Amino acid sequence: MSDLDILARHREQLIVSVCAHSEQPEFQPLDVSPWLAMSLLQEAIRRGHDGLALRATATLLRDSPDRLWRRCGGIAFEDIGVADLDVVSLVTAALAGKLFRVRAGGE
């Protein structure tokens, strides 16, 4: 199986996962700068603070989605890595670009 086949399989898995969650959860964005939200997102994930990570994500989705996706890529490879290769592969699939994410269900 080629690398392109593997990436295509993970992109399909991402689309299926997104479609399985038809309701979008509501999280209150924080009143902070995108830079602080990016840092907070990474630290909250490292420390297992899901609620705070989701609020930082909501902030970045509102203010700077491009920064969110770049930071998610960094977090996936730096902090998660081999501990969960499925997560790394799904994040890599989401990094295909905005057009792909729109087709997959949105940012």
pTM for this prediction: 0.78
- Is the pLDDT assigned to residue 53 strictly greater than 80? yes
61 DSSP 8-state letter: H
Which of these, 79, 67, 73, 106, lies nearest to 92 by C-alpha position? 73
The domain ranges of the chain are: 3-104
pLDDT at residue 3, as a whole number: 65
Q: Is 49 exposed, middle or buried (0-12, 13-18, 19+ CB in 10 A)?
A: middle
Are 48 and 70 in contact by the 8 Å Cβ rule? The answer is: no
Average pLDDT over residues 15-23: 77
> Encoding tokens for residue 63?
């203010």
